[in-house]
Amino acid sequence: MALLEAQHLATDDIILFLVTGETAGFGSLAEIGFALCQAVTSSRYFVFLIEPTVDPDPEADPVLAKESLRARALVRAHLSLNTLPNVFVCETRQQMLDVSLALHRGLGLLRSARSI
């Protein structure tokens, strides 16, 4: 699974990063830094959504949840300062869907224009 995700991260035109509150999300949060490095030198598009909270789970480790909240806040703060034209930071899943569909349509139009 990790290899497949890495291949998509390396080749897809539109990369969606959704970090939900269902997990601590440390791996995904770390990957965001790698993705931003790629965004600097790429014409591909990156769409991020980091849910700010971790869903309460009575069996979850409270220290892990607290650290996840801190990591999420830090990454969200860095993303809020984004000035890259190919990076989009969303606040809701609906916004992420709308942005990704608009990008997909736009890329389709560009491909069509190239074939004229």
Q: Is residue 92 part of a domain?
A: yes
Q: Is residue 4 part of a domain?
A: no
Distance CA 40, CA 102 (A): 21
Q: Is residue 78 part of a domain?
A: yes
Structure tokens that stand for 81 in this block: 């300062």
* Mean pLDDT value across residues 67-93: 95
pLDDT band at 34 (very low <50, low <70, confident <90, very high): confident
The CA angle 106-94-53, to the nearest 5 degrees, is 130
pLDDT score recorded for residue 107: 94
**Alpha carbon distance, N-terminus to C-terminus of the chain:** 38
Q: Is residue 34 part of a domain?
A: yes
Does the structure show a pLDDT above 70 at 58?
A: no
pLDDT band at 4 (very low <50, low <70, confident <90, very high): confident
- Domain containing residue 33: 28-114
Q: Is residue 16 part of a domain?
A: no
Residues 6+ away with beta carbon under 8 Å from 63 = none
Q: Is residue 42 part of a domain?
A: yes
pLDDT score recorded for residue 100: 98
For residues 86 and 8, which has the higher predicted lDDT (pLDDT)?
Answer: 86
Structure tokens that stand for 57 in this block: 């789970």
pLDDT band at 77 (very low <50, low <70, confident <90, very high): very high
Structure tokens that stand for 40 in this block: 């600097």
Q: Is residue 54 part of a domain?
A: yes
Rg value, the chain, Cα: 16
Does the structure show a pLDDT above 80 at 36?
A: yes
* Mean pLDDT value across residues 81-104: 97
The domain total for the chain is 1
Q: Is residue 107 part of a domain?
A: yes
Torsion, Cα 108 36 96 27, to 10 degrees, reads: 130
SS3 content of the chain, % helix, strand, coil (to 5): 55, 15, 30
Does the structure show a pLDDT above 80 at 59?
A: no
